[in-house]
A and B are shown apart, each in its own frame.
Chain A
Amino acid sequence: MALQGLEIRRSSASLRGGGTGLRKMATVAKYIDTSTCIGCKACEVACQEWNDLPNAQTSGPQHGTYQTLPTMTANFWNLIKFREVETQDHGLQWLMRKDQCMHCDEPGCLEACPAPGAIVQYVNGIVDVDPEKCIGCGLCETGCPFDVPRYAQATNKMAKCTLCVDRVSVGLEPACIKACPTGCLQFGDKTALLEVAKHRVEQLHGDGFAQASYYDPQGVGGTGVITVLKHGDHPEWYGLPKDPTVPTTVSVWKRVLHPIGFVAMAAAIFGAIGHFMAFGPKKPKDSSRETGGEV
C-alpha cells in the first residue's frame, strides 16, 4: 500500500499529475560515494531485512565477480555492482556501485504506467509503487532508463526500492544508509547533499582523478540518488547510462499518439454524424423494407 502519511506530488495515469501541491517539502536524496565503497554488502543485507524480503538464491551460473546476483530482482532491490575496467590512466580499476531505484524527478516508470496511482512520487521526491493498484503490465520496465523495476510472475506485481519511505516519513534514514560502515552512503536534503558531492569531487580532483564528477542526470530531471564517480566521464564503467532519458517511444506514445488518438476517435464519430446529415441514407426508391425505416 502506498504510504498515507506523505502527500503525493505526481501519480501515474492521472490526467492532471495527481498532486495537490499544497504541502511543500524538501526533495530528499541518497548520496553514494563509489570511491569510498568497500563492497561489504551491508546495505544489501539491511535492505533485505528491513523490507522483509526473502533470502536470495545465489547458486546458479557464476560470473567471476563478488556480485551477489546478476541483476536486481523483485525480491532484491539493492545490489552492489562489481566491475573490473582496464583504464589508460589508472590501470585496472575495480569499481563497485550500489545499484537501486534512482528516484528520478521525472520518472519514466510513472509516465509509462497505465494504472492510476500504481506508481506515485511523494512530495519529497521518493518514487514508490502501490501493489494494490499495480496491474502487472510491466510497462514501468519499458519506461525506466535504468532497468530498475522488476515484474514478479508470482505476484503479478512490480517491485523496487522504496527509498525506505516508511522509515523516511517518520524521520529515520533508509536502512541501507544506516548499515553503511564507511559513510559512503548518506541521506538528507538533496541540495545539501549536492554540496557534499561537489566537495568530494574536488577532493578527488586533487587526488589525481581529474575526470571525477557526480552523477545527477538532467535528462530525467535529476535523480534522488547522487552518485560520486572517480571516472565521471565514463558512467557506463559503473553500469550507468551516459545520458538517460525517458525512452522516446514512451514520450511519443503518451504525448503525441494519445492526443492524435482522441482527435481521430472524435473525428470518426462526428464524421459519421456529419455524413449522415449531409448525404442522408442511401436506400432504394421502391422497396418497402428499406423505406419503411427497418434496418
Chain B
Amino acid sequence: MSELRIPGSTRAAGPTAIQVARGREDVVIGDEIVRHRLASRVIHWVVAVFFFGALFTGMPIWSPVFGWMAYFFGGLSVCRWLHAWLGVAFAAAAAVMAVLWLKEMVFDKSDRKFNVVDYLRFSDREDPDVGKYNAGQKFFFWLVMVTGVVILLTGIVLWWPTYFNQTLRSISILLHDICFIGFFAAIVGHIYLGTAAEPGTFHSMTRGTVTRAWAKLHHPRWYREVTGERR
C-alpha cells in the first residue's frame, strides 16, 4: 500500500508545522508560523482548567444566584473545600506560566504607541511596530499576575477561619471579591478576543501555528522578525 499523499502537504519536504510546534516557536514552515510551542500551550490550558474550576466553585459561594453551579461539583460544602485547592493549583500553574512567558511580556518602547481605542475599533490603521504580543496582551498578563497574587493571599486568609484576625479577614473578603469581579470581566474579554473577534488566534493556542496573513495583520513586527521580510 502506497503512502497517502495529501496534495499540497509539506510532509514530503520535512516535518509539518504542527510537528515543529512541539518544541520550537517563531519558525516559518511553508505558509504557517509557529507561535506557541507545546509547553506554552499546555501551561496555558492547565492554568485555564484550574482557573475555571476555581471560578465555578467560587461563584456559588459568592452569591446564591449561582448556587446551581455547586451541584456540578457535589454541593456547596464540596465547593468550599475544592475552591481552595483549585485556587492553590491555579496559583502554582500561573507561577510556572509566569516563568515561561515573563521574557516576552516585558513592556518595550513600541508598546507606548498602543492605543486601546484604535485597537478596539479594528481600524485599518495598523501599527507596524506591534511585536509578538501587543501592549494589551502584555497588560492582560500582568493583570493576571497581580490579581493572582492578591486573590491567592486573601484566599489563604479566608481558607482557615481560626488563624487570622477578623479585621484582616473582612478586608480579605473585599479584596478577594474585587479580584474576582476583575477576573470575570477580563476572562470574558480574553475569550472573546481569542476566538470570535480575531479568527485564527484560537488555532495558535490549540495546534500552535498561525498563518502568515494572520501574523502580518496582528503582529507585523513579529512577522518581519520571523520571516526576515522587509516592510
- Interface residues of chain A, those whose CB is within 8 Å of chain B, are 13-15, 114-116, 135-139, 141-142, 147, 151, 153, 247, 249-250, 252-253, 257-258, 260-262, 264-265, 267-269, 271-272, 275-276, 279-287, 289-291, 293-295
Contacts and interface: CB of A to CB of B under 8 A. Distances in A.
Contact of A264 (B169, B170, B185, B200): B185
Question: Which of A262, A275, A279, A282 has the most C-beta atoms of chain B within 10 angstroms of its own C-beta?
Answer: A282
Interface string B65-105: 10100000000110110000000000000000000000000
A261 B177 contact: yes
Contacts of B169: 138-139, 141-142
Question: Which of A114, A151, A153, A247 has the most C-beta atoms of chain B within 10 angstroms of its own C-beta?
Answer: A114
Given A137-B61, A284-B214, A290 B199 contact: yes
Given A139-B169, A272-B197, 10 more contacts: A13-B67, A114-B76, A135-B76, A138-B161, A249-B171, A250-B173, A287-B213, A289-B199, A291-B199, A295-B196
Say which size band chain B's interface belongs to: 35 or more
Contacts of A249: 170-171, 173-174
Given A141-B166, A142-B170, A249-B171, A289 B200 contact: yes
A136 B161 contact: yes
Question: Which of A265, A271, A291, A295 has the most C-beta atoms of chain B within 10 angstroms of its own C-beta?
Answer: A295
B198 A282 contact: yes
A287 B64 contact: no
Given A250-B170, A284-B211, A289-B211, A257 B181 contact: yes
B203 interface: yes
Nearest to B163: A138
A276 B122 CA distance: 10
B134 to A, nearest CB: 12
